[in-house]
Amino acid sequence: MSVAEPRRIVLFRHAKADWPQVTDHERPLADRGRKDAAEAGRRLTDTGLAIDLALCSTATRTRETWKLAVHEFQHRPKTVYEERIYEASPGELIALLNETPDDAQNVLLVGHNPGIQGLADILAGSAEGDARDRMSSRGFPAAAFAVLSFSGSWKALEPGVGTLLDYWAPSD
């Protein structure tokens, strides 16, 4: 694959979590979260994107979200569970994505707010359009995802280089 071909990044926030008496890292999905995660998976398949690599936080709610969403996919991508995604800032997420091998064209990252929303805002820069308007007005609720495109190597990913192509939230 050439680095000249556009790359896609799907930023996917975990679905609605429950609040039992466990550590934050171990919080499971709520009933609504399980339903929304599966629906997000169906919506992701509707985009037609073939995901080459999924990077998922090690938190229980992100792993459960990904397991339910990927069940809807025809092709299960390679999945890496990455503890650095948990509580990561947008800059830390960019640094992690900069490590992505260039043979991965489309990458999905399952993580947490405020990092996921911050990263979507930073990468999209001054983008305009329907997807940006919806993302700006709704924020990044549980189970929402944004699809961004950029050109070049993963090492070249930095603020403002992305184009927001799509945005979906369970309320859509």
Could you say which of 3.40.50.1240, 3.30.930.10, 3.40.50.2300, 3.20.20.30 is the CATH number of the domain covering 10-168? 3.40.50.1240
**Calpha distance 135→138 (Å, rounded):** 5
**Positions of the chain with pLDDT lower than 70, given as ranges:** 1-4, 126-127
State residue 112's pLDDT score.
98
Could you tell me the two tokens for 37? Answer: 């995660």
- What pTM did the predictor assign? 0.95
- 3-state helix, strand and coil shares in percent for the chain, rounded to the nearest 5: 35, 20, 40
- CB-side neighbour CA atoms (13 Å) of 110: 30
